[in-house]
A and B are shown apart, each in its own frame.
Chain A
Amino acid sequence: MGVAVVLALVVIGSVAFHLLSPWWWTPIASNWHYIDNTIIITFWITGIVFAAVVLFMAYCLFRFRHREGHRAAYEPENKRLEWWLAIGTGIGVAAMLAPGLVVWNQFVTVPADATTVEIVGQQWQWSYRLPGADGRLGASDVTLVSAENPLGLDPKDARGQDDVIIQGDQLHLLLDKPVKVLLRSLDVVHDFYVPEFRAKMDMIPGSVTYYWFTPTRTGTFEALCAELCSTGHTYMRGGVVVEPESEYRAWLQQQKTFAELAAAARAQARN
């Protein structure tokens, strides 16, 4: 009896917590509201199943609790019921999987007009690289990394000379412009994660990974590392500023290219 009531209260409490608690996802700032929608669908389906199963169980516990002289029914199986339940479950699963796969297809299909940005992770900071006037990023290799060449760009690659390199600053992005983020790591696995953008992907040393999104809201967003990268993991923060064209151009003007930074480093070495 008491057990049945408690189980019912668990369901009611869970639903109430879901509806009333102040803890919910951050307001979205990218085009991936599709992901949010899929989560909502999943919440509905799983929530209904959870409530139905546990409430039905609570009812059984109340209705069929042991009483003197009472005896359980004898029912080895019920093929029809089992098949219907299996089919129903299959439909529920499909209802979650189908939108999920559709959205995944969008997630892995980068639009042709996306601009490229590179994010490089290392213990425990983020650096960024934007293609210069030629619109293309130059080649890079971890083995080329040195104090003067912190991101390991290939000095012989002409396409890399005009690449804009940003260290110790926030990444700025253009509002409403799709961006393909290339991810690289110099040491361990990191993951550049801005909760408001929903998208993320690990950066694996030795390979280049990517994802894409379109920022849809101006503002400054905190970036976190979402893959354990040793003791500084918690504090490996960065920032992304989403802004309209004019402000973005003004910011970009102030940034240094790879060639400029290399020249400055050489000058410093000579002194």
Chain B
Amino acid sequence: MVDVPSDAAAPLSTAEVEDVELYHPRSWITKYVFSQDAKIIAIQYSLTALAIGLVALVLSWLMRLQLGFPGLVSFIDPERYYQLITMHGMIMVIYLLTALFLGGFGNYLIPLMLGARDMVFPYANMLSYWIYLLAVLVLVAGFFVPGGATGAGWTLYPPQAILANTPGQSWGIIVMLVSLILFIIGFTMGGLNYVVTVLQGRAKGMTLMRMPLTVWGIFTATVMALLAFPALFVGAVMMLLDRLIGTSFFMPAIVALGEQLSYRGGSPILFQHLFWFFGHPEVYIVALPAFGIVSDLISTHARKNIFGYRMMVWALVAIGALSFVVWAHHMYVSGMHPSFGFFFATTTLIIAIPTAIKVYNWVLTLWRGDIHFTVPMLFALGFIVTFVNGGLTGLFLGNVVVDVPLSDTMFVVAHFHMVMGVAPILVIFGAIYHWYPKVTGRMLDDALGKLHFWVTFLGAYLIFFPMHYIGLMGVPRRYHEISDMAFVPASTATLNGFITIVALIVGAAQLVFVFNLAWSLKRGRPAGGNPWRATTLEWQTPETPPAHGNWGKTLPVVYRWAYDYSVPGAAEDFLPQNQPPDPRTA
């Protein structure tokens, strides 16, 4: 190791570090409700996202009941079924995954991991949460408006989304679009915060290459989200105008059930371009924070530095950049110019290379490690398996001609659930088991955690792995019944029933998790400041849970990278980032 001259390494005295201007809460309301403290906002974001996620989970049960046992629940007619799939998809992708990774983990971890006292624009940060909450409430209102929620599918493709015989055409679609617009406005306020905090709020000594990969992942994802969400915004505004005042941005001349409509000349494909220009980066907006967090979980619990840190950072940035030139692989069968197929298939498969490098480096981090099978580690391992599986099936769908028979079949459903449903959610669980002790000061129960992991991981795999084969047969997605086709063998109905039963069990296991969260809050084992013996700054706060301002009087100073685990010659098997170099070796 090359040490910097020792005078540079001397810890700074208190007087040198200026107390940044912090807002000071005056009442209970401003401390816990309209709080500007990123940690409180993070908890608010997380709880809201988890709550709405549970709603989406229940929706998926109903869908699976219909698919596994058609007719068993008689109120799920096609209309209701499409409302279920639409709300399930939209909630999971945007209101759960995006909000939880960026609004939840981003808010909590960015200031703490970087050694900042708070986000740089706390007021906008608070507004961000409240607008998000409003967006969620507007979304939920969709269930109660006349005609019910929209049943247009989460992709909201026009003309279908706003035509008369689509469920929720009268109010549901309007409510959905307004909710999305609100979400984007709220997210932009939060996102600017995360980015500028990473750029400007880092503690002394925290260079970019010393940032934990969690922060790299969230940072890259936020930059992407800020640039990609406007596409959804534009699409939503234009569709709202088409629906409300009859413009023809997306609506061509149409004969709906024998009647000529007044729309003329619009382009449904234009919406698809806008939607997927947002929609594909969105996949990585969810994936990159998961990549970052899982890197830190593996490194901490295998007591070994993340293998190939530089390559991991470059891969994150490369994936982020490339993900803006692959969007049309969602549109291979939309009749766009055939030459686009060559371009987008090539870019899509190229993105597999940096992604594969990340997988190799996670596995190579385990090699010659000292692996503790803690609950967060189990979830990280589960993530690798499901992500590798789902990522590899992406190579089928990204390869334009292979996509032709498989697109819009259950294969696609299985693929994206594995890769951007199950995999990131396993990371979310792992991250919650990992950071819960910091947030609350108590550990989550280990036995319940292991039960939760095994049922969730194996169950999810049993749900989605066989589903690929149903799609391979040619069963389309978004069908109200998926076993009545001439080419489908009778045994498929059994398989569908099996999948449904497993889905119900996996869903029930989430209640164990919710119980664990609540129970451990008061009864969990006290955690201490650094239960996992981790190096990153959030574990080095003077108090646990961290107090307002995070660091007491003195801001931390960073002397080393985030992964000094099992350093040869060191007494402990971890060296916190703010531990000064040993003067004897200097």
Interface residues in chain A, defined as those with a beta carbon under 8 Å from any beta carbon in chain B:
3, 6-7, 10, 14, 17-18, 21-26, 32, 34-35, 38-39, 42, 45-46, 49-50, 53-54, 56-57, 60-61, 64-66, 70-78, 81-82, 85-86, 89-90, 93, 96-97, 100-101, 103-105, 107-108, 122-123, 141-143, 145, 147, 152, 183, 186-189, 191, 193, 195-196, 198-207, 209-210, 222, 224-234
Interface residue tally on B, bucketed by range? 35 or more
Assess whether B309 is in contact with A89, with CB atoms less than 8 Å apart: no
Assess whether B405 is in contact with A72, with CB atoms less than 8 Å apart: no
Given A24-B473, A191-B408: A233 in contact with B402 (beta carbons within 8 A):
no
Closest B residue by C-beta to A3: B373
Assess whether B335 is in contact with A209, with CB atoms less than 8 Å apart: yes
| Among candidates B165, B252, B363, B461, residue contacting A10 with C-beta atoms closer than 8 Å | B461
- A contact residues around B311 at 8 Å (CB): 77, 82
Assess whether A231 is in contact with B78, with CB atoms less than 8 Å apart: yes
- B contact residues around A39 at 8 Å (CB): 396, 402, 405
- B contact residues around A143 at 8 Å (CB): 253, 260
Interface residues in chain B, defined as those with a beta carbon under 8 Å from any beta carbon in chain A:
78-79, 82, 151-153, 157, 159-160, 163, 165-167, 252-258, 260, 265-269, 302-305, 307-311, 333-335, 338, 341-342, 345-346, 349-350, 352-353, 356-357, 359-361, 363-364, 366-373, 378, 381, 384-385, 388-389, 392-393, 395-396, 399-402, 404-405, 407-409, 458, 461, 465-466, 469-470, 472-474, 476, 478-481, 485-487, 489, 491-492, 495, 563, 565-568, 573
Assess whether A196 is in contact with B487, with CB atoms less than 8 Å apart: yes
Closest approach, in angstroms, between the C-beta of A68 and any C-beta of chain B? 10
* A to B CB contacts below 8 Å, 21 in the list: A23-B472, A23-B492, A23-B495, A26-B487, A34-B401, A42-B396, A46-B393, A49-B392, A54-B388, A77-B307, A104-B400, A107-B404, A143-B253, A187-B163, A187-B256, A188-B157, A198-B404, A199-B404, A227-B408, A231-B79, A231-B151
- A contact residues around B335 at 8 Å (CB): 183, 201-204, 207, 209-210
Which 8 A-B pairs give the minimum distances between C-beta atoms?
A195-B474, A206-B252, A209-B335, A108-B338, A73-B368, A46-B392, A100-B399, A188-B160
Closest B residue by C-beta to A109: B338
- B contact residues around A25 at 8 Å (CB): 405, 472-474
- A contact residues around B566 at 8 Å (CB): 71-74
Assess whether A96 is in contact with B305, with CB atoms less than 8 Å apart: no
A88–B565 alpha-carbon span in the complex (Å): 30
A38–B344 alpha-carbon span in the complex (Å): 17
Assess whether A72 is in contact with B565, with CB atoms less than 8 Å apart: yes
- A contact residues around B167 at 8 Å (CB): 230-231
- B contact residues around A152 at 8 Å (CB): 255
- B contact residues around A103 at 8 Å (CB): 401
- B contact residues around A209 at 8 Å (CB): 334-335
Closest B residue by C-beta to A11: B385
Closest approach, in angstroms, between the C-beta of B38 and any C-beta of chain A? 31
Assess whether B378 is in contact with A38, with CB atoms less than 8 Å apart: no
Given A77-B310, A230-B160: A64 in contact with B369 (beta carbons within 8 A):
yes
Closest B residue by C-beta to A107: B401
- A contact residues around B268 at 8 Å (CB): 189, 204-206
Closest B residue by C-beta to A152: B255
| Among candidates B157, B253, B360, residue contacting A206 with C-beta atoms closer than 8 Å | B253
- A contact residues around B405 at 8 Å (CB): 25, 32, 35, 39, 195, 198-200
**Assuming A61-B373, A230-B82, what are 18 further A-B pairs, CB within 8 angstroms?**
A7-B385, A23-B492, A39-B402, A42-B399, A57-B363, A57-B366, A75-B368, A77-B307, A78-B364, A85-B357, A96-B349, A105-B342, A141-B253, A142-B252, A145-B255, A209-B335, A229-B160, A230-B163
- A contact residues around B360 at 8 Å (CB): 53, 82, 85
Given A72-B304, A199-B405: A142 in contact with B255 (beta carbons within 8 A):
yes
- B contact residues around A3 at 8 Å (CB): 373, 378, 381
Closest A residue by C-beta to B377: A3
- A contact residues around B395 at 8 Å (CB): 42, 45-46, 93, 96
Assess whether B369 is in contact with A60, with CB atoms less than 8 Å apart: yes
| Among candidates A14, A82, A186, residue contacting B254 with C-beta atoms closer than 8 Å | A186
Closest approach, in angstroms, between the C-beta of B437 and any C-beta of chain A? 19
Closest approach, in angstroms, between the C-beta of B45 and any C-beta of chain A? 31
A189–B270 alpha-carbon span in the complex (Å): 13
Assess whether B255 is in contact with A93, with CB atoms less than 8 Å apart: no
Assess whether B401 is in contact with A38, with CB atoms less than 8 Å apart: yes
Closest A residue by C-beta to B462: A13
Closest A residue by C-beta to B167: A231
Given A46-B393, A72-B566, A104-B342: A64 in contact with B269 (beta carbons within 8 A):
no
Assess whether A71 is in contact with B401, with CB atoms less than 8 Å apart: no
Closest approach, in angstroms, between the C-beta of A56 and any C-beta of chain B? 6
A86–B303 alpha-carbon span in the complex (Å): 25
Closest B residue by C-beta to A94: B349
Assess whether B371 is in contact with A60, with CB atoms less than 8 Å apart: yes
- B contact residues around A122 at 8 Å (CB): 255
A17–B255 alpha-carbon span in the complex (Å): 46
Closest B residue by C-beta to A203: B335
A200–B352 alpha-carbon span in the complex (Å): 26
Given A73-B368, A74-B567, A198-B404: A7 in contact with B466 (beta carbons within 8 A):
no
Closest approach, in angstroms, between the C-beta of B363 and any C-beta of chain A? 5
Assess whether A230 is in contact with B165, with CB atoms less than 8 Å apart: yes
- B contact residues around A86 at 8 Å (CB): 353, 356-357
Closest approach, in angstroms, between the C-beta of B176 and any C-beta of chain A? 15
Closest A residue by C-beta to B467: A23
Assess whether B489 is in contact with A22, with CB atoms less than 8 Å apart: yes
Closest approach, in angstroms, between the C-beta of B86 and any C-beta of chain A? 9
- B contact residues around A77 at 8 Å (CB): 307-311
A3–B401 alpha-carbon span in the complex (Å): 38
Assess whether A72 is in contact with B303, with CB atoms less than 8 Å apart: yes
Assess whether B160 is in contact with A60, with CB atoms less than 8 Å apart: no
Closest approach, in angstroms, between the C-beta of B582 and any C-beta of chain A? 16
A137–B48 alpha-carbon span in the complex (Å): 57
Closest approach, in angstroms, between the C-beta of A212 and any C-beta of chain B? 11
Given A228-B160, A231-B165: A60 in contact with B473 (beta carbons within 8 A):
no
Closest approach, in angstroms, between the C-beta of B194 and any C-beta of chain A? 28
Closest A residue by C-beta to B248: A206
Assess whether A147 is in contact with B352, with CB atoms less than 8 Å apart: no
Given A53-B388, A71-B573: A195 in contact with B487 (beta carbons within 8 A):
yes
A147–B259 alpha-carbon span in the complex (Å): 10
